[in-house]
Chain A
Amino acid sequence: MAKEQKTSGAAAGAAAFKTFTPMAARPAPKDLTGVTAWLRTNLFSSVPSALLTFLGLWIAWSVLSALVSWGWVNAVFQASSRRECLDKVGLSGACWPGVVVWIPNLIYGLYPKDQVWRINWGALLLIVWLLPLWLPRVQSKIIIGFSTVLLFPLLASYLFLGGPKGWIWTALIAVGLTGFLWSLLTAASESLGGGPFLRLAARLMGAKTAEEEAQRGRLALLGLFAIAVLLVTQWNLDFVPTRVWGGLFLTLVISGFAITFSLPAGIILALGRRSKMPVISLLCTTFIELFRSVPLITILFMFNTMLPLFLPAGVEVNQLLRAIVAVCLFASAYMAEIVRGGLQAIPRGQYEAASAMGLGYWQSTSLIIMPQALKIMIPNIVGIFIGLLKDTTLVSIVGLFDLLSMARAIARDPGWIGLFLEPMFFITVVYFIFCFAMSQYSMSLEKRLGAGERR
């Protein structure tokens, strides 16, 4: 419209006006581009800046060279005890063999060595379950993602814990297995162009109409469940008490629970706190403020020592479970405030537009408000996740052997007595890898979701 008017105006007035021709763009002057120019503007733009550059280089150099000479040049890689290391290089080099022989313990804790495959299989299971999320042709990604988050714990807890199982337990494990099989089959059938698995199965069973499809699809799911039950009843694993769980494995179990629980719980708490119903809002606010104003270590202690006092005699709550619940509640309180912050950043007009279009509260919240708010919150959410992974080190005070406690145990091993620095260095690297991966993932997620939506 606007364009038409402009051109017609120009045509009408062509005789009366001079024509405007824009000047051609010239390349930027040489001293604005190139390596030397970059160096000059960024590192040596003035005398103080040049001095700071040299100071920074000197600090980086001294730290790195000290680290390399300790950890690599002077380090011992072959030895059978700490004594041997000390005889060879004294304290000037690292003694890696102590860490190397302890690596299985650092990863799996005191989990029986002949059962460790169960943990590996658990990890593999998770990876395979999540793999379809990266396959381009899979459509049901959201459901597969949800099924993993909700159902993987069911399957994994039996895999890790083992022991006798009643029929409820059996059914739950079978539900988990059904979810896994369904995800695999769906991913396969969608990748091969057959559409969602249940629909495919229904069509193979001769369904014609949409109604029949839904009905036979449910039947197929039930069949899958029956197969799962059959498999699960055949499946007997030795009982491994949580007492012997430890190391990186335990750290990941606790933080994994906390991470997956805290986000939905935080969302619910945040919505509750903003609710117009005073009772709900008061309850949520109280919970959030209570758990946020107490250190995690205190909450862990309280759950560990006080919870048994409130429970009826004879009811024993597993120590690991107590720690997990404590960390989860703590994390949700923090998450709730982050989510609330994100919700507040969404202009009121978005709610108004949604409700003027006839959307209800839940629809506008889940489809309009949350997706936008979550996107803004990604850095903060991942910040909490990273914090959680590291905070799990606190569970050592209630007698659980997480990665940090296992690393400290090396110093008490008679053969490696006093070996402290090297294990610390090792777990520092492990923590760094996990945290760095999370932060990188969050950045790529931000970039992907932000495409085409710059404000």
Chain B
Amino acid sequence: MKEPLIELVGVNKWFGSFHALKDINLRVAEGERIVVCGPSGSGKSTMIRCVNQLEAHQEGDIVIAGRHYGRDERENAAIRSDIGMVFQSFNLFPHLTVLENCTFALTYVKQLPKAQADAIALELLTRVRIPEQAAKYPMQLSGGQQQRVAIARALCMRPKIMLFDEPTASLDPEMINEVLATMIELAESGMTMMVVTHEMGFARKVADRIIFMDQGEIVEEAPPERFFREPEYDRTRLFLSQIL
């Protein structure tokens, strides 16, 4: 197997006295697509947020492309710059236009000149099919368009890894498909992705592996066909019977 791009080794995380992640071990190779699912409160968001250290873990090791998160905030920021993240609530900056949202990190983190940043942003807005909305403010867009802007914004930084935390959970059914289509295209382009979602159709189509979590643990880890056809654990079976 290739050197993994993301590696979690014995990761434990507590919120106060609450044990939120228990001995998580996970290896994701470059170009692999992982879908994470599980009941509410099982720690899916917490795990994915640990991968870019929006939440700090207390025990274990998280290694991204061979680099360890540690105490050095600079180093952590450098590691994080390889990772893009898309949130359930979009989290676009409402006081900036769509284009400015996309160029923001290019200007202030990568310190590119404006013309170059604009060109990159427009290229990615075109890729998510909304270049004509560039001058608008996020609040003037539909939910699906906002989420696609969020994806473009994350891609602007040319990340090696993309994290998605329930990207379609707060969208109307009509818009879910346009966002999923964008994500499928992204997957086809070879991006390494970790996606928390309940869209099992997407999981079946795109995922290399599906991870099922419950109560802070990884219960089951399997390729889609096996995961849906013959899950090993009764917990997984129960979960699948509830959502399918």
Contact = CB atoms under 8 A, between A and B. Distances in A.
Interface of A: 1-2, 5, 347, 349-350, 352-360, 363, 367-368, 371-372, 375, 452-455
Interface stretch (B103-111, B216-224, B226-234): B103-111
A363 B93 CA distance: 14
B144 A356 contact: no
Given A358-B105, A452-B136, A452-B140, A2 B87 contact: no
Contacts of B95: 371-372, 375, 453
A290 B210 CA distance: 56
Contacts of A353: 85, 87, 91-93
B88 to A, nearest CB: 9
A350 B108 CA distance: 16
A358 B129 CA distance: 25
A275 B95 CA distance: 24
Interface of B: 52, 54, 77, 80-81, 83-85, 87, 89, 91-95, 104-105, 108-109, 129, 136-137, 139-140, 144, 153-154, 157, 174-175, 177-178, 181
B77 A360 contact: yes
> Which of B94, B140, B144 has the most chain A CB atoms closer than 10 A to its own CB?
B94
A452 B174 CA distance: 25
Contacts of A352: 54, 87, 91
7 contacts: A356-B52, A356-B154, A358-B77, A363-B108, A368-B93, A453-B95, A453-B137
Nearest to A5: B177
A357 B94 contact: no
A2 B174 contact: yes
A453 B181 CA distance: 28
Nearest to A451: B137
A359 B80 CA distance: 10
Given A2-B174, A353-B87, A452-B140, A358 B109 contact: yes
A367 B157 CA distance: 18
A79 B239 CA distance: 94
Contacts of B52: 356
B137 A1 contact: no
B91 A359 contact: no
A1 B105 contact: no
Contacts of A375: 95
Given A1-B178, A357-B153, A452 B91 contact: no
A358 B154 CA distance: 11
